[in-house]
Amino acid sequence: MYLRNRQALFWALFLPIIIMVIFGLFNFDSAPKVKIRVADQARTPASEAFVGALGQSGIVELTQGDREAALEELKKGGIDMVVVLPPGFGAAGQQPAVEALYHSGRPQSARTGETVVNRVLDEMAFQAAGVERPFKLETRPVEARNLRYIDFLVPGVIAMAIMQMGIFSVAFALIQFRQQGVLRRLKAAPIRPGDFLVGQVITRLLISILQTAALIGMGVVFFGVHVEGSYVTLMTLALVGGALFITIGFVISGYIRTEEVAAPVANVVAMPMMFLSGVFFPRDTLPAFLRTLTDYLPLTYLADGIREVALEGAGFVQVWGDFLGLGVWLVVCFILAARAFRWE
């Protein structure tokens, strides 16, 4: 029956995909370049060599201009650092001070900029003095498993989608059924509330599982996500997680009478989890007490579990803690849902 509501099915898949695409577009992976503007007041071969070397460093977005205008731009925040090459730069016998002015609010860019400028100056000094470097640095890439942001994101978004599909679809549908009197009519039939709940969870779980499979499929096909672990473990996690969030939907629909109230309540339940359970960003940046607290959120167990299986190839044994967490929540929520359930 729920499969007939094609619109609902579409939107349930659409939102997670949109999130994957949008967040996938952010380029969190490459280090941002430092914006340096050089005010070359020397105009000597040495100063030009400096500018050339700086431009080739690969991590500097280089522009040129005069000192005053560059300072203005720095104050506006358009650039990270201004380097002033004084007259006489590079001439033998002089030791002119090269000014490096940086944006006080961006210490990280400043440090990177300073390092690069220093290195270029050192290089020029070595050359001018004809000194051969006593050692050489060789850098070589090593083929490593390349964890991009999207690899982190997709498992998180799948966990989030399982949560959304569970909580929102169930809470609203049940409240609607009750308001229309559909549940009232069922009350007149010889069916126990517990049986009805279990039946609803199972049918909705089947759909949730299909949607999850579709999302994983799209993650693999369109975003090149590799699933290191077994799909069986992954789907089992999705199954237990799906059952949990559907049950949470029933808890909400049991305590809340109208759709108008259910909407904010469902959001109050879902939104904090979305941001605190490490769906979009790792939880490492949270304050310690909050991190400990969020360890026990239902969505944390699901997101961490899916991520460990997908990225680290974890099996049942490694994610048993997540299964346990989900299981405990499931039992608690089912008891709550059964107690709160009302036909009318």
Instruction: Give min distance, CB of 7 to another protein, in A.
Output: 12
Using rule CB under 8 A, residue 22 touches another protein: no
Q: DSSP for 291-330?
A: HHHHTT-HHHHHHHHHHHHHHH---TTTTHHHHHHHHHHH
Q: What angle do CA 180, 243, 196 make, to 5 degrees?
A: 40
**Nearest-angstrom CA–CA distance, 219 and 160:** 14
Number of residues located near another protein, criterion CB under 8 A: 17
Could you tell me if 54 and 62 are in contact, meaning their C-beta atoms sit under 8 angstroms apart? Answer: yes
Instruction: Give min distance, CB of 103 to another protein, in A.
Output: 59
Task: Let me know how long the chain is.
Answer: 344
Copy the structure tokens of residue 260: 């108008």
Using rule CB under 8 A, residue 258 touches another protein: no
Q: Which is nearer to another protein, 182 or 202 (CB)?
A: 182
Using rule CB under 8 A, residue 338 touches another protein: no
Q: Which is nearer to another protein, 182 or 271 (CB)?
A: 182
> Binding another protein by CB under 8 A: which of 131, 142, 188, 288?
188
Using rule CB under 8 A, residue 4 touches another protein: yes
Instruction: Give min distance, CB of 286 to another protein, in A.
Output: 42
Amino acid 126 reads F
Tell me which stretch binds another protein (CB under 8 A): 64-72, 189-197, 236-244, 320-328: 189-197
**Nearest-angstrom CA–CA distance, 261 and 179:** 13
Using rule CB under 8 A, residue 181 touches another protein: yes
Tell me which stretch binds another protein (CB under 8 A): 47-55, 59-67, 182-190, 322-330: 182-190
> Binding another protein by CB under 8 A: which of 187, 257, 339, 342?
187
Strands 34-40 and 60-64: parallel
Instruction: Give min distance, CB of 335 to another protein, in A.
Output: 22
Instruction: Give min distance, CB of 340 to another protein, in A.
Output: 19
Local structure of 122: helix, strand or coil: helix
Instruction: Give min distance, CB of 16 to another protein, in A.
Output: 24
Using rule CB under 8 A, residue 192 touches another protein: yes
Using rule CB under 8 A, residue 257 touches another protein: no
CA atoms within 13 A on the CB side of 95: 0
**Nearest-angstrom CA–CA distance, 286 and 267:** 21
Q: Which is nearer to another protein, 180 or 267 (CB)?
A: 180
Using rule CB under 8 A, residue 191 touches another protein: yes
Count the neighbouring beta carbons within 10 Å of the beta carbon of residue 117: 22
Interface positions, 32-71, toward another protein (CB under 8 A): none
Using rule CB under 8 A, residue 164 touches another protein: no
Tell me which stretch binds another protein (CB under 8 A): 74-82, 181-189, 228-236, 257-265: 181-189
**Nearest-angstrom CA–CA distance, 263 and 274:** 16
φ/ψ of residue 9, rounded to 5: -60, -45
Ramachandran quadrant class, 83 (left: phi over 0; alpha: psi -120 to 50; beta: rest): beta
For binding to another protein (CB under 8 A), which residues are involved? Answer: 1-2, 4-5, 177, 180-182, 184-192
